[in-house]
Amino acid sequence: MKQNSNNQTTPPASQPLFPNLEDSLAHIRTSMGNTFDLVIRSLMVHKTSAAVIYMDGLVDKISVQNFILEALMLEMPPKRESSHHLYLSINE
């Protein structure tokens, strides 16, 4: 890891993000200038931390909800079951 002129740690050029999700999200926020229209939805998908990141006003929020977040919420059941299970918690 390198330190920039503001004494902040930055990921190496060959590694676009940090191994830790929270560090990566902090880096993205800082890189974007902590802009108010950057939306980060943190969530758990199959016991793995994840995030959906987008710019407010550049995407349709309803489409993000209907086609991305809801798709992540559906856990495909084992073949012997016929129903879907919700498996997602969203933290804003």
Residue-wise pLDDT for 40-92, tens only, equals 998 888 788 889 999 999 999 999 988 888 888 776 554 544 444 444 445 54
Q: 78: which DSSP letter?
A: P
pTM, 2 dp = 0.62
In terms of Cβ atoms closer than 10 Å to its own Cβ (0-12, 13-18, 19+), residue 87 is middle
Q: Per mean pLDDT, which range of 9-13, 35-39, 47-51, 54-58 is the poorest?
A: 9-13
Rounded Cα distance between 33 and 49, Å, is 24
Q: Across the strands, what pairs with 43?
A: 50, 90
Neighbours of 59 (CB within 10 A): 12
